[in-house]
């Protein structure tokens, strides 16, 4: 019996590409992917005003979250669904997304990729949630979230960070308690192995 938490943006969904593509559409700024993004929440290609306008557009959009490209192959979604269907296993898709029907957009996006009846939780409080639901495994792309999951659960939840240049600071507090994986496949293999 395993309870598994999946962050959405930066783990399953290609947020940086979507965000910078929208910036390009609105302001003509550069488009790039998660692998080219250098620092958490720093978008040097945009002015603060442009950045704010991109977020305003997202918050008013009924389809930004709904139409985002995946950050993994379809095989990963199939494997998540297979693990989720095993007796006693529970999967939570946890996100700090906001805006028009963000939860419904996220649920529809997951269903489109074969996740049956996905449980989407809207919160920034990943550590608190991991403790509350008794999570055994968690994957995120935000270093502080990964650390908080470890800390709030006294290490009972194995906390994984999907490795990107923007979260690669090895001096980050608590980094020794977080396991880095290059891919979600690697994370799922560890879940299956345990
Ligand atoms: Mg994320």
In terms of Cα–Cα distance, which of 83, 93, 82 is closest to 12?
93
Centre of ligand 1 from the C-alpha of residue 12, in Å:
9
* C-alpha to C-alpha distances, 79 to 3, 62, 106, 115, 141, nearest whole angstrom: 15, 28, 19, 10, 19
Centre of ligand 1 from the C-alpha of residue 180, in Å:
14
Q: Is residue 150 scored above 70 in pLDDT? A: yes
> What is the value of pTM for the model shown?
0.96
Centre of ligand 1 from the C-alpha of residue 94, in Å:
9
Centre of ligand 1 from the C-alpha of residue 9, in Å:
4
Q: What is the mean pLDDT of the chain?
A: 96
Q: Which pLDDT belongs to residue 170?
A: 67
Arithmetic mean of pLDDT, 21-25: 98
Helix (H, G, I), strand (E, B) or coil at 39: coil
Centre of ligand 1 from the C-alpha of residue 141, in Å:
5
Which conformational region is residue 18 in: left (phi greater than 0), alpha (psi within -120 to 50 degrees), or beta?
Answer: alpha
Centre of ligand 1 from the C-alpha of residue 162, in Å:
9
Centre of ligand 1 from the C-alpha of residue 143, in Å:
9
The domain ranges of the chain are 3-13+68-193, 15-59
Arithmetic mean of pLDDT, 27-44: 94
Centre of ligand 1 from the C-alpha of residue 8, in Å:
6
| CATH number of this structure's domain 3-13+68-193 | 3.40.50.1000
């Amino acid at each position: 019996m395993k309870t598994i938490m999946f962050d959405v943006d930066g783990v399953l969904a290609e947020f940086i590409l979507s965000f910078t593509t929208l910036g390009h559409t609105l302001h003509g700024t550069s488009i790039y992917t998660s692998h080219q993004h250098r620092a958490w929440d720093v978008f040097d290609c945009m002015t603060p005003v442009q950045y704010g306008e991109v977020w305003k557009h997202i918050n008013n959009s009924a389809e930004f979250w709904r139409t985002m490209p995946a950050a993994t192959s379809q095989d990963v979604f199939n494997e998540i669904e297979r693990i989720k269907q095993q007796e006693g296993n529970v999967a939570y898709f946890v996100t700090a997304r906001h805006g028009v029907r963000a939860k419904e957009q996220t649920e529809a996006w997951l269903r489109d990729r074969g996740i049956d009846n996905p449980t989407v939780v809207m919160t920034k409080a990943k550590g608190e949630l991991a403790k509350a639901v008794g999570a055994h495994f968690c994957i995120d792309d935000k270093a502080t979230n990964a650390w908080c999951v470890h800390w709030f659960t006294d290490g009972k939840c194995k906390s994984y960070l999907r490795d990107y240049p923007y979260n690669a600071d090895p001096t980050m507090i608590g980094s020794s308690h977080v396991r880095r994986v290059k891919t979600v496949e690697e994370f799922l293999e560890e879940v299956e192995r345990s």
